[in-house]
Structure formats: C-alpha cells, structure tokens
C-alpha cells in the first residue's frame, strides 16, 4: 500500500496525490464560513453598511469568489486553493497530444494558459455549482424542517395541510407549486447522494490510478490538475515584468489603467495570506469557545478544589476609622449589635445591617456606617439579602 502515501507517481512526477487535492478542497470549503464570520463581526460595528451583505451572504460570497477565481485562473491557470498548494489546471487534449512534454524536458517548458472557454467552464464549476448547491440545500432545509423535524415528526402536520389545500378550491398555480415542492422534497435526497457519491467514486478511482480526474466536474470540462513546475513560475514572473508600466510614450490614461490593474492584482494576490489567516482566526475562536478556557476554568490543569476558585471574588471595601467598627462575631449588625441580624439589608458597600438600622442611618447621614462612602441613591440603594436559597 506504499503507493497510497506516495506524493507522486513514477510515470508522472507532476501528478498530485489525492491528499494534496483533498487539502485544497478543504481549504476552499473553509473559506466561506471564515468570510461569513469576519463579515458578521464587522457588521456589528457598521450595521448600516454590512447588514445587507450578512443577510445575503451566499450571493456576496459568490460574487467575491467570482473575481478572485477569475483572477487566479487567468494569471496562474488554477483556482485560488489550487494555486495555494502549487497546483494548476491543464487541458487533457494538450497533455494527450504532447505526451507530457514538460515532464520529459525536466520542467523546462511551461504549459499553455487556459483559454477563455476553459476559464468560463472552470468558473461555472468553482463558483456557479457551489452556489446552486448551497441554495438548494437551504431550500430543502426550509421545506423539510431540517433534521429535528424528521426525527420529531414536525413536518407531518405541514404535509397534511398541503394535502388539504390540494383537495380544496386552491388556485392552479398554488397547487402546482405545492406539487413541485413535494416532488423536490422526495427527489433531492437522491440527487444529493448522487452528487457526493460521484465525487467519492472519482476520488477512489483517482487514488488507485484508474482515472486522471479526481472530480467528475473536471472530467466534464476536460481539465486535469498538475503540479506547477519552475518553468510555470518563471513564465508568470516574466509576464508580470513585461506588464509593468514603463516611462516612455505611453499616455497618462494607459499608465493609470496599468497602475490600477497592478494594484488590483496585488490585492488579489495578498488574499493568499489574508484568507488563510482568517481561516486560522475562525478555527482558533471555534476551538476557544468550545474549550475550558472560555468557561473561565482550567479544570484540566487544576484539581477539583482549585478549579472551583479560579474566578477571584471582588475586592472588599475597607472600614473607615471614622465609621462604626465591624463586630468580631459573624451575623451581627454593626449598629445595634443584634445577632442574628433582623431582616438583613445590604448597602452598596457590601456590608449588611438590620433593615431599620440601615434605613434610619442612611436617611440621616446618607453614608455607609462602616466604610463612610456615600450612598448615591439614598434609602433606595438598600438591597434585601435572602439567606435561604431556593
């Protein structure tokens, strides 16, 4: 089973392993929740500007990834996640006609860039298909009630109501919508199973070398995933150097356009750092809030007795020399020295007295008898203390 863990095949050194392909797929799947989390955080500060983006996150993310993926497909011949792992997309027709010329020449020649048709097909698979799948999942979750409804039977009542509407004098358009909804509810689980099952089948076939495509969608558009060679990197940077604005006969408009295009490209390229950092931040917070640290205890590092006292009590206000001294015996009123305290009442300072003692003293002096601090609200600042815990 050594071939399962090998990074490359002896026949094709540029053929990535399934683990590399799975890693870039996982990176792509983590991008959307990370972007949604960061957007939700900033929407709390700027709700007028970002609340609509949060409410329509699927559309916003699809538009964002359209420009990102389009840039990387044009510049690198790969999606963002594929380029992050040093992979590229190559036409199967080119590989079949050239018999892996790049590999034979030791990586001295680069593969041709993707055509406009191949870029459009790749965008349809990378952006369009996940968006449609996400909307279908959300719609199915709404009409089926989710997992809880299937377990608790919460959607049975809705089905009976729909059947009653079909029997009643309901408009034809409404009946057609109900029929289509019922059909979608029954058919979509099989479509979903076929979608994930076909991907799994291609993954297994790719692992054992039975196919050149790790995904049925790549097979459909005729593109294979290969590792980038030094010639590919050299070609990209040579092209980047040629597109730099030159001081010469170029007009101000063309120079400005080239400058703006260069800035936009640099911003998109910076996403290689920004997006993985957002994913790390998102996963770190997910771990943090699910750990013992977020609950304020270090139960894993401390004993049971120490874990209960991890949160320190508030600082006790010291008695003022001008005030009434605190009795040495517990549960004794400092004013009348009655024990136990009759109708215990606390002042904002934290000290407890009999209710009548505290009321008259605060009404007359507007201070705490012990700490000599002012009671801002007067007698309204008195708080009843309940000794018995229900």
Delimiting residues of CATH 3.30.40.10 domain(s) in the chain:
320-390
pLDDT tops 50 at residue 155: yes
- Please give the structure tokens belonging to residue 324: 């009434």
pLDDT at 178 (0 to 100): 79
- Is the Cβ–Cβ distance between 345 and 358 less than 8 Å? yes
Range 327-338 average pLDDT = 83
- Is the Cβ–Cβ distance between 68 and 27 less than 8 Å? no
In the chain, beta strands by DSSP E: 87-91, 223-227, 344-346, 352-354, 383-384
* Of 105 and 159, the one with more pLDDT: 159
- Please give the structure tokens belonging to residue 224: 């294979």
Of these ranges, 97-111, 178-192, 233-247, 296-310, the one predicted with the greatest mean pLDDT is 178-192
pLDDT at 193 (0 to 100): 94
pLDDT at 174 (0 to 100): 78
The H or E element containing residue 105 is none
pLDDT at 299 (0 to 100): 45
Buried b / exposed e along 103-123 (16+ C-beta atoms within 10 A): beeebebbbebbeeebbebbb
* Of 306 and 328, the one with more pLDDT: 328
Range 321-326 average pLDDT = 81
Distance separating the N- and C-terminal Cα atoms of the chain? 65
DSSP for 23-91, written as a single string: HHHHHHHHHHHHHHHHHHHHHHH-HHHHHHHHHTHHHHHHHHHHHHHHHHHHHTSS-HHHHHTTEEEEE
pLDDT tops 60 at residue 5: no
pLDDT tops 70 at residue 38: yes
pLDDT tens track for 204-229:
999 998 999 999 999 999 999 999 88
pLDDT tens track for 111-136:
888 999 999 999 999 999 999 999 99
How high is the mean pLDDT of the chain?
77
pTM for this structure? 0.62
Determine the CATH number of domain 320-390: 3.30.40.10
pLDDT at 39 (0 to 100): 83
User: Phi and psi (nearest 5°) for 227?
Assistant: -75, 150
pLDDT at 9 (0 to 100): 47
- Paired residues of 383 in beta bridges: 346
pLDDT at 53 (0 to 100): 85
């Amino acid at each position: 089973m050594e071939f399962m863990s090998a990074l490359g095949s002896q026949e094709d050194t540029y053929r990535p392993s399934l683990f590399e392909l799975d890693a870039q797929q996982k990176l792509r799947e983590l991008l959307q929740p990370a972007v949604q989390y960061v957007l939700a955080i900033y929407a709390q500060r700027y709700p007028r500007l970002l609340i609509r983006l949060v409410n329509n996150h699927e559309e916003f993310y699809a538009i964002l990834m359209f420009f990102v993926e389009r840039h990387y497909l044009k510049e690198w011949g790969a999606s963002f996640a594929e380029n992050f792992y040093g992979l590229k997309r190559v036409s199967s027709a080119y590989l079949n006609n050239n018999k892996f010329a790049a590999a034979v020449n030791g990586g001295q020649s680069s593969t041709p860039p993707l055509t406009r048709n191949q870029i459009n097909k790749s965008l349809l698979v990378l952006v369009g298909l996940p968006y449609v799948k996400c909307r279908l999942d959300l719609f199915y979750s709404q009409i089926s009630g989710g997992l809880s409804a299937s377990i608790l039977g919460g959607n049975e009542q809705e089905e009976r109501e729909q059947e009653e509407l079909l029997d009643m004098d309901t408009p034809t358009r409404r009946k057609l919508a109900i029929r289509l909804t019922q059909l979608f509810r029954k058919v979509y689980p099989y479509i979903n199973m076929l979608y994930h099952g076909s991907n799994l089948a291609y993954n297994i076939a790719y692992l054992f070398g039975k196919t050149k495509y790790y995904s049925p969608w790549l097979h459909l558009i005729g593109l294979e995933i290969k590792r980038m060679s030094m010639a590919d990197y050299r070609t990209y940077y040579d092209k980047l150097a040629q597109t730099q604005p030159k001081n010469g006969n170029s007009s101000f408009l063309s120079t400005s356009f080239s400058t703006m295009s260069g800035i936009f490209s640099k911003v998109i390229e910076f996403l290689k750092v920004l997006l993985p950092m957002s994913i790390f931040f998102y996963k770190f917070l997910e771990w943090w809030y699910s750990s013992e640290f977020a609950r304020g205890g270090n139960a894993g590092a401390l004993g049971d007795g120490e874990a209960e006292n991890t949160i320190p009590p508030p600082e006790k206000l010291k008695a003022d020399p001008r005030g009434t001294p605190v009795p040495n015996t517990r549960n004794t009123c400092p004013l009348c020295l009655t024990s136990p305290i009759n109708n215990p009442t606390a002042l904002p300072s934290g000290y407890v007295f009999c209710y009548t003692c505290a009321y008259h003293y605060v009404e007359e002096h507007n201070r705490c008898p012990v700490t000599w601090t002012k009671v801002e609200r007067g007698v309204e600042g008195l708080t009843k203390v309940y000794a018995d815990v229900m």
